[in-house]
Amino acid sequence: MNLKQKPVEVSVALAAPDSQIQMNPLDNIMRYTLPQHLPDALFRAYDIRGDAALMTPDITYALGRAIASEIRVINECCAVVGRDGRLSSPALIPHLQAGLLAGGVDVIDLGVIPSPLMYFGTCTQETQCGVMLTASHNPKHHNGLKIILQGKALTFDRLTLLKQRILNQDLSTGQGHYSTRDITQSYIEAIVQRTHLKRPYRVVLDCGHAAGSIIAPQVFEALGCEVIPLFCTIDGNFPIHHPDPSRAENLKHLKAAVLEHKADVGFAFDGDADRLGVICNEGHTIWPDQQMMLFAQAVLKQHPNAPIIFDIKCSQHLEHVIEAAGGQPILWKTGHSLIKAKMRECNAPLAGEMSGHIFFDTPWYGFDDGIYAGTRFLQYMDDYAASAAMLRETLPYSASTPELKIPATESQKITAMQALAENLPEGATANTLDGLRLHFKDGWWLIRPSNTTAYLTVRLEANSDAALNALKQHFTHWVQQTCPELDLSVI
């Protein structure tokens, strides 16, 4: 297909920005013009994401047309589509759906959902293709698209192809059929069938006023839990805290509630609920790489000698725990689509990222799902008849930081990483798989450019508190000498 398209007239519905009602994009008329230029800032390493102001009606429609063209090329004709609770999502979703329909693809509108429900739809409905309108944990004024084709998340090369299709106007045409569907009960039942708890648990859920509010409380109630909800109504202003459980400041309300209610555990979810944060019954954070240590031990009992994948930001202890449990540790690049591709390549039953993305294959579907990961954590507690605090105490100790974020523009990220790579400190062993992970006698640090936000991401880990403080000083001196323009106040 290589049809030069003139401005296209299609039917859409423009919902009010605060509307939660599913709208049929065939209700009203709007004229679109295919854009001649597309902002590079939208096309990230593993999804489309950026300031929602860049996603004009024409651009969002064109992205729908390009996705439809790719779906048609693989001989599919249908896609499940969902959106999160961001303020810009109700206005953008009709343009996306109009593009898909005009490209000849049937749209099954799943409504306002977290990303795991869109992924679940591609695994259980009549199509393996799906699109989610979301910017995950990005700032509230951002939005974007997560795209699944034939059950696979698109990586940068495929995303670039979408961009070229639009610029070349190499787009399919047709008229797809629009329908709505509610798969929330099917999702809940699928989790209940895979979870077998011997007793009820008291669980605090912090949904951050984001899309997880739609279903997370229902899931845990269906498992017999006493659910204490925090911020479990959708509000795209995120008025209490930003829905990003990788940041310690976003977990303080959850910690307080767990202690106040004497809960067994607390779970926090990000903007589209594909990431998990965990607070134990004593109010301590169990970080995602620590969660992975627990999950890996359980999974390897069922899958001896299996590969377990984790990203470049994870603790060095995770590798040792996996080996001790009889598994094959595989360090890989950060990014949900990159991790999923590596899982398929290695046939891995489990993978995880320090950001909180946890991927279970058997008995789940291999996609990142913070809600399902929370149920697996409960199952682990139940199987070992142990509190969350007791499980945390079994883990190896290290002194470490959470993910730290140094503000940096796109050009600053490139310039800084080049300069740092050319000025490595003495005595360091460098791993350049994804950024710069430098190992020293008493610890390591990582600095890498974020693929989704305007930051350089940093993490440090050492054998002791004293060694960590020394490592921080060493890191700060190295970066200040090499890139004095960077603000290191977070270190």
Task: From residue 312, give the alpha-carbon distance in Å to each of 433, 459, 460, 480.
Answer: 8, 10, 12, 23
Taking a C-beta distance cutoff of 8 angstroms, is the pair 120, 24 a contact? no
- In 368-450, which residue ranges form alpha helices assigned H by DSSP? 370-383, 388-393, 410-421
Cβ pair 269, 231 in contact under 8 A? no
Q: Evaluate the CA torsion angle 43, 48, 49, 54 in order and state its sign.
A: positive
Asked if 136 is an active-site residue, the reply is yes
Cα–Cα distance measured from residue 175 to residue 105, given in angstroms and rounded to the nearest whole number? 7
Spot the catalytic one: 88, 115, 136, 400: 136
**Nearest CA among 351, 337, 38, 322 for reference residue 158:** 337
The answer to whether the CB of 195 falls within 8 A of the CB of 255 is: no
Q: What backbone torsions phi and psi does residue 143 show, to the nearest 5 degrees?
A: -155, 175
**Length of the chain, please?**
491
Q: Which residues have C-beta within 8 Å of that of residue 395, sequence separation ≥ 6? A: 290, 293, 294, 317, 321
Cα 109 from chain centroid?
21
Please tell me the distance from the alpha carbon of residue 77 to that of residue 426, in angstroms, as a whole number: 56
Q: Are strands 152-153 and 226-230 parallel, antiparallel or unpaired?
A: unpaired
Alpha carbon separation from 1 to 5, 74, 107, 270 (Å, rounded): 11, 13, 21, 39
Q: How far apart are CA 150 and CA 78, in angstroms?
A: 11
Active-site residue set: 136
